[in-house]
Chains A and B, each alone.
Chain A
């Protein structure tokens, strides 16, 4: 994604560790806050980042110490770009059951991708299903200030 006004970027590989993932997302949140993000926009990006990270580490890489997750974040005042790529077998997001269906409503899994889809402006998966790219465009009027 080309945008000349990125205020902060991060591109690195992390081990398949949720704790390390939480720490990297904390860096993203600090960058967003410094760029003026707050309220529901900030909440939505945090939700998407946490869910995508957990999916990559646990479902993708099965928390294997031999596998890593590639993480790329970019932040501007109006837009956030997030990309996670794991080394797992991938999955097809279209084949996931709808967690809001009555039969799935009280299941204790399967809401992460659904929340990502609802909270980000753009979400796409690669053909292998092991990489998710997400963009959030700020909605609040304060984004202009």
Chain B
């Protein structure tokens, strides 16, 4: 069983649903660790699709955004989809200001995101 410190993962077939263990994704070392754990979902665990559920996340820096862009590219290269859900208003604003809401598929609720993956919750 893979030990993960920054994320909690539940798998549904080839879809990994991810929740973040940290309220604030800001510490540089933690961001590196989070990035590596997300990458291993694709590289090691061979997950095709990833859903990032931001419930409980209060803050993230641009360094965290950079990691998400890398994960998005990795998932797309593997022929899968990355979706985000449950972003609090301030974090959604970060995606809007940077126009990354055009890059990422952001859904309001987990149910809505799962439905987009073809999973009925």
Contact = CB atoms under 8 A, between A and B. Distances in A.
A42 to B, nearest CB: 9
Interface residues of B, number: 26
Contact of A108 (B28, B69, B90): B69
Given A22-B27, A105-B100, A115-B97, A51 B62 contact: yes
Secondary structure class of chain B's binding surface, majority of residues:
helix
Contacts of A118: 97
Interface string B70-90: 101100000000000000011
B98 A100 contact: yes
Contact of A47 (B66, B70, B94, B100): B94
Secondary structure class of chain A's binding surface, majority of residues:
helix
Nearest to A40: B90
A45 to B, nearest CB: 11
Nearest to A39: B90
Given A51-B61, A111-B98, A43 B69 contact: no
Interface string A100-126: 100001111101101100110000000
Given A50-B26, A106-B103, A108-B70, A115 B94 contact: yes
Given A100-B98, A108-B70, A109-B66, A43 B90 contact: yes
Contacts of B90: 39-40, 43-44
B73 A105 contact: no
A105 B97 contact: no
A46 interface: yes
A105 B102 contact: yes
Nearest to A41: B90
A134 interface: no
How large, as a class, is the contact surface on chain A?
A: 20 to 34
B89 A115 contact: no
A46 B26 CA distance: 10
Interface in B55-70: 58-59, 61-63, 65-67, 69-70
A105 B26 contact: no
B95 to A, nearest CB: 11
Contact of B62 (A18, A39, A106, A115): A115
Interface of B: 26-29, 58-59, 61-63, 65-67, 69-70, 72-73, 89-90, 93-94, 97-100, 102-103
